[in-house]
Structure 1
Amino acid sequence: MKAELVTLDDRFSAIAGDEYLERLYDAGRWLEGPVYIPAWRSLVFSDIPNDRLLRWDEESGQVSVFRAPSGNVNGNTLDTHGRLISCSQGNRQVVRTEYDGSLTVLASHLGGSRLNSPNDVVVKRDGSIWFTDPPYGITSNYEGHRAEQEVGGCHVYRISPDGELTVVADDFVRPNGLAFSRDETQLYVVDTPEKHIRRFDVKDDGLTGGEVFAPCTAGRFDGIRLDAEGRVWAATHEGVHVFDADGTLLGKLLLPDVVSNLCFGGPKRNRLFVTATTSVWSWLITTDGARPPYDHG
């Protein structure tokens, strides 16, 4: 499909890539959580209602089931050792896939109360894991299991390197996608019903600030990622919106379906992978994704 771009600022022209988008897969129900795994040259992504993780192989172009059932996994990322970290909405847990394929539960309760349904997750270079916990997985049986909310709110959490779980932000309606700035001094967090992205300052093991960084002008925001120049790439109902670090909306990549999430991958991190309703799209671009925490170079 030909890439449909909307340029709103001349700075957007510096990142435009291929003239065409590639559809890598089109048989999902609601796809989410793409993460590129360099060691496998593969993209792993979630099909939440179908309760499975799928894997697209870069060499063959084939898609296979990576794990089913998955616990209605939503967001995924890699930790500082390249291990898969996943938000299991159905099981109300954050889990790590070990090298032998076994699962380790990293977070499931705050005190004696079960988490809502962990949604999206990022890892800091110090090994801490930060995630959002809206109730999407417990409001119905569609992408989880209907249940009562036990935690008094929808928070942003931090798991310390030694495993301690703490609330770092508790003033969200439904926090969703999140991403660190390149130097990890700031954390961007989506509040989906509020239709905006907020930006916090990272202080030791917590957050301060939280002003609105950018409003959504096309439905609602979902997942977000940063590129190597500090620009914010955000999933919206009409496609991907790209913001400069100063909050200016530079341009848009329009897609035919509602976009849920995105990530950078490929050997040079210059391939954008986008999950959009039933499909996974790929776009080779002229910028690179931000250096991930497992890259110690």
Structure 2
Amino acid sequence: MTLPIAEVEVLFDGCRWAEGPVWFNDLGCLIWSDIPNNRMLRWTPDQGVGVFRAASNFANGNTRDREGRLVTCEHGTRRVTRTEPDGKITVIADSYQGKRLNSPNDVVVKSDGTIWFTDPTYGILSDYEGFKAEPEQEGCFVFRVDPASGEITVVADDFVKPNGLAFSPDETRLLVADSGFSHDPDGPHHIRTFDVTDTNNLKGGAVFAEVSPGVPDGFRFDDQGNLWSSAQDGVRVFDPEGNPLGRIKLPQMVANLTFGGPRRNRLFIASTHTLCAVFVGVNGAQSP
């Protein structure tokens, strides 16, 4: 799964809290968030790192939709947005039942175009990663947005701090992290697995894997159905049933990761102050 001759490379060291890496194969670049610095950065193999968006509204998680457009969770504005090809910003979701969202954290897009995101309170707990405020929602939910009508639906309401999420390669399961341990020593630090129904609802919710030390934040699947998850001491890898397969040890806490490169065999890792990368012996699950 890992390559004996491949080493972890530091591509950039200058973030306060790196998050939300997303690979653009058509552009040959990686974009990620540096939340406390209120910016998004871009790395290209030949040009290195530059600023993609200087005022990002404290952007956190990112993904691409099925048309290749950037979809972003913004702590500062407490919304999920889409960047159009001409650079304009479209608001996908900023409220539920007339009340502002907490602070959208991570987002994925299913092949049918539906947009799924988590909404913990991290971005309103202080002024470091957003703007301190009281939550308006009654809890921290997992939401689904219909791309045609814009209707927003709660698909899971029993999380303490829902965080990273990812569909299995065949989209029959949705895995969602609960990182409640980050602010409560008795809180959860696990990943749960749900069955996705034909009507895009969720069933089940059993614990897929516990992540320790630290909490699971962001994760992605490879094309064999194995899950690569962030952890306090690096990256943990689990098989499709949640059994541990291995790990990549790193000196800083990992927040999120994604597969990229022309063959999707390079793992990009957002690790506190740094963006790292390592070639691995598998390929990431196909994405736009």
TM-score, normalised to structure 1, is: 0.92
Aligned equivalents of 2:49, 2:161: Cα separation in 1? 32
Counterpart check, 1:40 vs 2:27: yes
Aligned equivalents of 2:72, 2:147: Cα separation in 1? 16
Match of 2:246 in 1: 251
Give the C-alpha shift of residue 39 in structure 1. 1.7
Match of 1:99 in 2: 85
Aligned equivalents of 2:77, 2:45: Cα separation in 1? 30
Match of 2:194 in 1: 200
- CA deviations 1:150-200 (Å, max 9, x no partner) are 010000000112121100000000000000001101000000121100000
Aligned equivalents of 2:113, 2:2: Cα separation in 1? 31
Give the C-alpha shift of residue 20 in structure 1. 1.2
Greater CA deviation, 29-38 or 216-225? Answer: 216-225
Match of 1:69 in 2: 55
Give the C-alpha shift of residue 15 in structure 1. 4.0
Counterpart check, 1:219 vs 2:211: no
Percent identity, please. 53
Greater CA deviation, 160-169 or 234-243? Answer: 160-169
SS at the partner of 2:123?
coil
Contact 1:18 1:285 in 2 (8 A): no
Give the residue type in structure 1 aligned to 2:233: E
SS at the partner of 1:259?
coil
Contact 1:86 1:94 in 2 (8 A): yes
Match of 1:87 in 2: 73
Counterpart check, 1:271 vs 2:271: no
Going from structure 1 to structure 2, the CA distance change for 1:139 and 1:183 (only over 3 Å counts) comes to same
- CA deviations 1:252-290 (Å, max 9, x no partner) are 100010000000000001000000000000001110000
Counterpart check, 1:260 vs 2:255: yes
Match of 1:138 in 2: 124
Aligned equivalents of 1:18, 1:176: Cα separation in 2? 33
SS at the partner of 2:122?
coil
Give the residue type in structure 2 aligned to 1:106: I
Contact 2:20 2:62 in 1 (8 A): yes
Going from structure 1 to structure 2, the CA distance change for 1:68 and 1:17 (only over 3 Å counts) comes to farther
Equivalent residues, number: 279
- Give unpaired runs (5+ residues) of structure 1: 1-13
- Give unpaired runs (5+ residues) of structure 2: 181-187
Give the residue type in structure 1 aligned to 2:215: R
Aligned equivalents of 2:5, 2:220: Cα separation in 1? 20
Give the residue type in structure 2 aligned to 1:195: H
Give the C-alpha shift of residue 147 in structure 1. 0.7
Contact 2:233 2:252 in 1 (8 A): yes
Contact 1:17 1:283 in 2 (8 A): no
- CA deviations 1:207-229 (Å, max 9, x no partner) are 11000000112211110100000
Give the C-alpha shift of residue 17 in structure 1. 5.7
Aligned equivalents of 1:230, 1:252: Cα separation in 2? 16
TM-score, normalised to structure 2, is: 0.95
Contact 1:17 1:285 in 2 (8 A): no
Aligned equivalents of 1:27, 1:171: Cα separation in 2? 36
Aligned equivalents of 2:4, 2:22: Cα separation in 1? 20
Contact 1:29 1:50 in 2 (8 A): yes
Aligned 1:185-196 pairs, distance under 5 A: 185-193=172-180, 194-196=188-190
SS at the partner of 1:137?
helix
